[in-house]
Chain A
């Protein structure tokens, strides 16, 4: 079947959006794998948590006291993880904690209200809390096993992933929930492309999300690349991925940097989860499993350990999925298998991935 130019343009933007979402998740996998040589199975579930946090704070109206408490806990986790232990605790930290706990107490006991913040605030809230969750996952499941065989850490990763999913079922309930999309994101953008096709009535309809997702992703990835290649913690990250022992000897507090890696990866996964929920408006506790696996495959495809590769792998996977199902509708039932076929092909053909430069033993 040939694609008409209209369909091609529509599919192109759909693929771009899907690919960027995969890419954002894949970056988290690739960063953790690059540093710890560990498949962070829980990453897909972190993605799910991001979607749920923003859902609860904007659509289902989380009680305000809970939101304040969650932010207080997130602040506590981040602060205890990244604090410079040689310096005294700054006053602003206690002030912020007191303020948040005060808000939690006020809204919990004195005047219970539901929390309905503007969108932007809700997104920041969700990203912050999800980042903290990423740090907790590292602390609970991976840090005790740093010196254990890698396979033990992998089983631990599978365990924590199931734990998060099942906790999700208990806390959020296992039923899928519909996400209400803001009107401005639903109305498709209609563009006339008669200049290209020569046909006066050829129009394309593109969902605004299909344009927003790639732009936001580009922004986030640029920010991440700036952190990794232009800042000191980023330098430490790159150094750990080369040689963890030497980096430790150079006086870098390795666990802090790893926690930062998890925080950044989880923040990107949360952003991806939020955009995913807005684009495919249904969320459930197992929603992260399949995108998680696919994103991991994208990371392997792009060359695990490479940020550019992860993004590129995600985009390629998005394009493969969208265009194969568009061109051969008979294959649409096999859509979820494409990624795994791609994985096996890449592992056999070039296990280091398309952007992977390292030639040391990886398999």
Chain B
């Protein structure tokens, strides 16, 4: 057995272990903890997909909430039963095309992702000619347009009332399954030649173009793959929390994901996953500052809104004092783990010297 086959076997074992932990969690944890675990998986999917667009291809996109909205709405409309649709669309009757349309959940999620990816393609063709912060503001504009259209297209989306009572199909297995799929696809993509092109574009687009790379094609490709997984993430969110409305998909949502990506490290898949674990848990944990705390007879009143203040201060601190994020551009690898197990002290001193550690998973 050569080295890479062994690593593959290790990875497989790790995935099996992950699902064993999930099995344990499902039977032994309360609903609230399971909900947080679900959110971790969905945030990780979203963060990894944004990292592909921004961290690996260097396109500052602020349109993630828009893609999520599309995935969520498409998937929701496809999984609701005809009776539910009829009773939910009060203001305007549902469009006859959609009234009886129904797909199994897994397929609906894929369709949601594809829809987001198609919209991504339509957006990408005009917008990706821009670069830098103009690209950011243009994608943000598109996300906002998507939201306004959803609010107004009542026959399809039930307008600003939103959709309630979505069947909660997105359980632990589904979310973590999608997470594994996402990470697998994106890691394979990044380790292929296409991934090298992405990184070349990120590091110097003009140089990449001089080497004969059709940079526009690859930028669109990266954008659409990212949009697909953002759509999947949106669809899973809808099926997890069972209510969606246009107000959910504001810039705030993109900001949260951006925060995860920046905190974890731009250009590190491992970083995005670690970031989503830390930040999802922290956002839940920070809820205590908004609730009153009683210490014996003494009660500290909760401050509504304080959670997001702390969250923004954290982002500011990361960007001001540790711009490369938690992991920088380092990735997890079995070799690195082996080195760490053999000699932890040496591992860290080496890691701090070379910022671009071993790649691969």
- With an 8 A cutoff between CB atoms, is A282 at the interface? no
Partner of B60, one of A141, A151, A296, A297: A151
Q: Which of B5-13, B208-216, B226-234, B314-322 contacts A (4 or more CB under 8 A)?
A: B314-322
Residue pair B133, A344 in contact (C-beta under 8 Å): no
CA distance A97 to B77 in the complex (A): 63
Pairwise interchain contact B134-A351, C-beta atoms closer than 8 A: yes
Instruction: Give chain B interface residues in 105-162, CB to chain A under 8 Å.
Output: 126-127, 129-134, 136-138, 140-142, 144-145, 148-149, 151-152
- Assuming the contacts A340-B142, A344-B127, A344-B142, asked whether A156 and B316 have C-beta atoms less than 8 A apart, the reply is yes
Residues 328-358 (chain A) with a chain B CB within 8 angstroms: 333-334, 336-337, 339-341, 343-344, 347-348, 351
Interface of B is mostly: helix
- The distance in angstroms between the C-alpha atoms of A268 and B129, with both chains bound, is 33
Q: Which of B268-322 contact A (CB under 8 A)?
A: 303-306, 308-309, 311-313, 315-316, 319-320
Residues of A within 8 A of B308 (CB): 162, 166, 169
Residues on the A chain within 8 Å of B127, using CB: 344, 347
Among B136, B141, B309, which residue has its beta carbon within 8 angstroms of that of A163?
Answer: B309
Size of the chain A interface, CB-CB below 8 angstroms: 43
Q: Please report whether the interface of chain A is mostly helix, strand, loop or mixed according to DSSP.
A: helix
Q: Which residues of B contact A297 (CB under 8 A)?
A: 137, 141
A333-B148, A343-B137 known; A145+B255 contact, CB < 8 A:
no
B80 within 8 A of A: no
A-B contact count (CB 8 A): 114
Contact partner of B134 (CB less than 8 A), chosen from A289, A337, A341, A363, is A363
Chain A residue numbers with a CB within 8 Å of B136 are 39, 154
The bracket for how many chain B residues form the interface is 35 or more
* Contact, CB under 8 Å: A156 / B319: yes
Chain B residues proximal to chain A, CB less than 8 Å: 60, 126-127, 129-134, 136-138, 140-142, 144-145, 148-149, 151-152, 251-252, 255, 258, 262, 303-306, 308-309, 311-313, 315-316, 319-320, 323
Interface pairs A-B: 6 shortest CB-CB: A340-B141, A169-B305, A163-B312, A166-B308, A337-B148, A333-B152
Given contacts A144-B320, A158-B258, 4 further A-B contacts (CB under 8 A): A162-B252, A167-B309, A293-B141, A344-B142
Using CB atoms and an 8 Å cutoff, list the residues of chain A in contact with chain B.
38-39, 140-141, 144-145, 148, 150-152, 154-156, 158-160, 162-163, 166-167, 169-170, 173-174, 289, 293, 296-297, 300, 333-334, 336-337, 339-341, 343-344, 347-348, 351, 362-363
